[in-house]
Structure 1
Amino acid sequence: MIHVFNTMTRTKELFKPLQAGIVNMYVCGPTVYNYIHIGNARSAIAFDTIRRYFEYAGYQVNYVSNFTDVDDKIIKAARTAGISEHELTTKFEQAFIEDTLPLNIKPATVRPLATEHINEIIKFVADLITQGYAYVAKGDVYFRARKFPDYGHLAHQNIDDLEIGASERLDDGELARKEDPVDFAVWKGANPDEAITWDSPWGPGRPGWHIECSVMAIKYLGDTIDIHGGGQDLAFPHHTNEIAQSEAHTGKKFANYWLHNGFVTVGDDNEKMSKSLGNFVTVHDLLNEVEPQALRLMMATTHYRRPLAYTKTAIAEATQVVKRLQTAYTNLDFRLQQDDASPVEDSNLAAQVTAFKLKFMQAMDDDFNVANAMTVINDFTTALNVYAKATNVSSLTGHDALREFAAEVMVLGVNVQPSLDEENTKWIDEKVATRDAAKKAKDYAQADMIRAELKAQGIILEDTAQGTRWKKE
């Protein structure tokens, strides 16, 4: 049974979905005005890993994650670039897809855009006004935070303390428009020079940041959802405000479980990533420097709630682990293809595989404890390597073991199965066959020359008792 740490209660709770066998999950996506940084990637990877485990455990996951495509940052970046907001956001929506694909982040079930839901947002805001939860102030519409009971509970903050902080952040104009400093905008009246606006009953404007997620989560997943996730920096104000406006609108609990991932630190000094510190790292740039699956594994094997330290050492270590996992898979796969592999079940190996699966699930059931799960996978890797060298092997049970191993590792987003195109590797097989013939003829000079030629192209040969096999370096 899966237990999750609920930020709302600050305790681990037994996960009970609203519908048996189905998980409805909403995760806040990026604001698309630039390439995603590793902090964005950390959140995407953390919740993709959680999603993948639910699916591994047999659940159907409806996974909704948005793009914020209307925002002050977008307007500013578009002006700087001399292009329209739509051109800017379209570019970086596509960049997000291209940069997350190598990291094995699965596409969302639905990836909604704020700008495609303006009519629903306006209706939502109008309802809040009708109920007395929101008010119009010179073209803006604000939500009355104090009217909502327990405002700030998710972030475990007192509303009076929040009022002091809000008063310090606001400019005089906005402070004058608000009834209370803690009130937040659900609709922002347009400035005269803004090009991206929509007509509304309160004048031209655009949605406030928080309202889009409430509208889209409810539209695609229902009034109450199972899991809402995002970075821990979103607990306040974003998720706090989502709860208030959503529950005011529907009269129902918005989300049963709130999950938040930790920050990313950069370098050996564990500095929090920020542009001002000059350690801002985009995934777009990073993918030119590191192996994507190593980056994925490094980020996936730190527990989602803990801070993640991005260092070159951590990447180097993850690179070696990925190679070890893939080598274990290909070694046994190669061994099982030999003529002496038996079709009869191996009960000892079957028992080992069952034990590994049970331990893996026990680890992941405990709030997705990836560190303990990785310990199981490492033991599983060793067992595969030992079995590949056994005198007698079962092709039936061996392939069952490989399938389970690949499934567990894929929960962490790493693919251990060979993905090279057969046509593109045919020449390698031909070279190997020529070398085997040269060795048989005791032409060791030619055999060594072929090995060196392949090595120069990143292909490593391994001579085993079952014949020659190759792998990419």
Structure 2
Amino acid sequence: MLQIYNTLSRSKQVFKPIEPGKVKIYVCGMTVYDFCHIGHARVMIVFDMVVRWFRAIGYEVLYVRNITDIDDKIINRALENGESISALTNRFIDAMHADSDELGLMHPDQEPRATDFIVQMQGMIGNLIENGLAYQADDGDVNFAVRLLPRYGQLSGKTLDELNAGERVAIGSGKRDPLDFVLWKSAKPEEPADTRWNSPWGEGRPGWHIECSAMSCDLLGKHFDIHGGGADLQFPHHENEIAQSEGALYGQGRKDDDAPFVNYWMHNGHIRVNEEKMSKSLGNFFLIRDVLQRFDPEVLRFFMLKAHYRSPINYSDAQLEEARAGLVRLYTALSQAPGAPTVSLESKSEWVKRFTDAMNDDFNTPEAIAVLFELASEVNRAQDGEKIALAGALKSLANSLNFLVREPIAFLQSGSKDEASLSAAEIEEQIAARKAAKQAKDFVKADAIRQNLLDQGVVLEDKSGGITEWRRA
């Protein structure tokens, strides 16, 4: 029985899909004006894991993750670069896809771009105006009237009296209340033509919050199962999504028995660097592509999922090295039984049950990974047929989290991407020299070569038949 921590209720709840056997998930995606950093990687990896687990336990999943391709930051960057909005955003969308592919992640089933849903956004804004929850200000912007919606604050737990303008975006001169947020931004004379669309309220562009409401409701319906994103989006972005989505549907008076916009809200924790929240303003963020120049993509995935998705995690090279060492342990165990058959998650095996119980407890990947380590230890101790069966279980369970997906030797020989490390060709050359030394009975030289390789992080293992296998420590 799968339980999910619902930010809206602040508790774990048994997952009950709106439509039996099917799950509809919307995740807030990237604003594409720069390369993706490891904070983006965490969102992508966490919800890749969530979708994979739903599918592993038999659900049909429709996974939608949007792209914000119109935004103040995008406009400013395009003007700085002297290029069009589409040229800028297309370049960084391609880069985002390249990063995702390098990480070995699934693409969402649908990946809507905000600029393709302007009509739907305008329709929702029109409904909010008709329902008395939005107004056009003197400066031309259309704003949402927050104080007219009694339920505002239900996701964040904030009351209207607790909120203040300093927590929100800059206050426009036309707002009736500092808490109101913009739905439609009136075009400014200096803004390029490709940043404005015609509307009943004059030329302009959508506010950020309305984008996700319009796209999710259009693609998943006005009531769907799961909405996810980073913890930083809980307020105000997701709070505003609820307000405008339910406001457009129900007006000012949603009743307790009316279906909510979303049943379950999921938020992954922040990434911290040296115990500070990672942010561009602090200059302590790392691009995915830069990290992957030095570390294997599977290592980064493993690092992200070693912690529970809701917990903040501290990023460092040492943490990634520790994650790699953990994967080495698992792959080393698996290497003892190549070609081991996979097992079903419906198996009655104790290992499968414990792993499944962990994952069904709000996607508790740290506990599930602990089961993998215990299972790897059992593989190391087992003999013959039992070893093969246990290795098959290890591989099957790890695969459901997108781990141990390669041949063990390929991972074990990959190592770090440190330029100073020996290449595979150099290692094979040293192994050949050691073999020649042994044949000449120069065992001192042979031992020296083994030790020299070990000092450089390469472990040799002599097998029967005169074969020597190697892996990086």
TM-score (norm 2): 0.84
- Equivalents in 2 of 1:303, 1:148: separation in Å? 34
CA distance in 1, matches of 2:244, 2:98: 34
The yes-or-no answer on 1:185 pairing with 2:186 is no
1:278: Cα distance to partner?
2.8
**How far has the Cα of 1:148 moved from its partner?**
2.0
Which residue identity does 2:134 align to in structure 1? Answer: A
Q: 1:51 to 1:168 in 2, by over 3 A?
A: closer
Deviation at 1:401, TM superposition (A): 4.2
Alpha carbons of 1:309 and 1:118: their partners in 2 closer, same or farther (altered >3 Å)?
A: same
> Distance in 2 between the 1:292 and 1:444 partners?
42
Cα deviations across residues 147-177 of structure 1 (Å, max 9, x unaligned)? 2231011000011222x33598644xx14x1
Equivalent position to 2:191, from 181, 190, 194: 194
Are residues 1:259 and 2:266 paired? yes
Correspondences of 1:249-288 after superposition (within 5 Å): 249-251=248-250, 252-267=259-274, 270-288=275-293
Tell me what 2:142 maps to.
141
Structure 1 gaps of 5+ residues are 337-342, 344-349, 422-426
Q: Which secondary structure does the structure 2 equivalent of 1:88 belong to?
A: helix
Q: Is the 8 A contact 2:28 2:229 kept in 1?
A: yes
Residue 462 (structure 1) shift:
3.0
- Residues 325 and 85 of structure 1: is their aligned pair in 2 closer, same or farther, counting only changes over 3 Å? same
Letter in 1 for 2:162: D
SS in 2 for 1:331: coil
User: Which one has a larger percent helix, Structure 1 or Structure 2?
Assistant: 1
Is the contact between residue 18 and residue 225 of structure 2 (CA under 8 Å) also seen in structure 1? yes
Cα drift, residue 406 of structure 1: 2.3
Query: How far is the alpha carbon of 1:442 from its aligned partner?
Result: 5.9
Separation in structure 2 between the aligned mates of residue 465 and residue 358 of structure 1, nearest angstrom? 37
Distance 1:203 1:381, change over 3 A: same
Q: Give unpaired runs (5+ residues) of structure 2.
A: 251-258, 411-423
Structure 2 residue 160 is the aligned partner of structure 1 residue 159 = yes
Q: Which residue of 2 aligns with 1:127?
A: 127
Contact 2:376 2:391 (8 Å CA) reproduced = no
Q: Distance in 2 between matches of 1:153 and 1:351?
A: 38
Instruction: Determine helix, strand or coil for the equivalent of 2:54.
Output: helix
Q: For residues 420 and 327 of structure 1, do their structure 2 counterparts lie closer, same or farther at Cα, with a shift above 3 Å needed?
A: closer
Q: Distance in 2 between matches of 1:442 and 1:40?
A: 54
- CA gap of 1:275–1:417, structure 2 versus 1, over 3 A, is closer
CA distance in 2, matches of 1:419, 1:276: 41
In structure 1, what is the Cα distance between the partners aligned to 2:124 and 2:465?
Answer: 67
- Correspondence list, 1:10-409, <5 A: 10-137=10-137, 138-162=139-163, 164-166=164-166, 170-171=170-171, 174-175=172-173, 177-195=174-192, 196-251=195-250, 252-267=259-274, 270-333=275-338, 354-387=349-382, 390=383, 393-394=384-385, 401-409=390-398
Shift of residue 217, structure 1, vs aligned partner: 0.9
Report what 2:256 is aligned to.
Answer: none
Q: For 2:146, give the aligned amino acid.
A: A
Partner residue in 2 for 1:424? none
Residue identity matched to 1:38: I
User: How far is the alpha carbon of 1:327 from its aligned partner?
Assistant: 1.9
Q: 1:144, 1:351 → 2: CA distance? A: 51
CA distance in 2, matches of 1:294, 1:63: 25
State how far apart, in whole Å, the 2-side matches of 1:67 and 1:74 are.
Answer: 12
Given the two structures, how large is their TM-score scaled by the length of structure 1?
Answer: 0.84
Which SS does the other structure have where 1:265 is aligned?
Answer: strand
Q: Percent identity?
A: 39
- Number of corresponding residues: 441
Instruction: Tell me how far 1:257 sits from its aligned partner.
Output: 0.6
CA distance in 2, matches of 1:114, 1:168: 22
Structure 2: distance between partners of 1:167 and 1:109 = 34
Q: CA deviation at 1:118?
A: 1.1
Cα RMSD over matched residues? Answer: 3.5
| Secondary structure at the counterpart of residue 349 of structure 2 | helix
How far apart, CA to CA, are the structure 2 residues paired with 1:56 and 1:398? 24
Q: Call closer, same or farther: CA 1:71–1:15 in 2, change over 3 Å.
A: same
